Copies of this chain bind each other. A is one copy, B any other.
Amino acid sequence: MSVSQLTQAERDAALAELDGWSLRGDGKAIECGFEFDDFVDAFGFMTRVAILAQSQDHHPEWFNVYNKVEITLTTHDADGLSQRDVKLAKAIDKLV
């Protein structure tokens, strides 16, 4: 299934709706950092995101160390940001 890259206007509108996400330097991804009380809380969050991601068939690039999680969303098929990223980011925002 092909997916198209967001226009700049769509990108700006999406970022305005998201909580704490920012555009990566190259404009092809959005990123957000999350901080929790400890590892169990952080990994619990990751587990919820993993289930969301799998259900949306769209997966994050993410890094964890102890209580911190950094998530990057991009759409390789679009070589940049697409509505899939915005949809997943919004769902992640609802978890926290």
CB neighbours (8 Å) of A54 from chain B are 39-40, 43
Q: What is the total number of copies of this protein in its complex? A: 2
In the complex, are the beta carbons of A39 and B53 less than 8 A apart? yes
- A62 → chain B, closest Cβ, in Å? 6
Q: How extensive is the interface on chain A, given as a class?
A: 10 to 19
In the complex, are the beta carbons of B65 and A64 less than 8 A apart? no
- B53, B59, B63, B66: the one contacting A59 at CB < 8 Å is B66
In the complex, are the beta carbons of A43 and B39 less than 8 A apart? no
CB neighbours (8 Å) of A47 from chain B are 43, 47
A15 at the A/B interface (Cβ < 8 Å)?
no
A23 at the A/B interface (Cβ < 8 Å)?
no
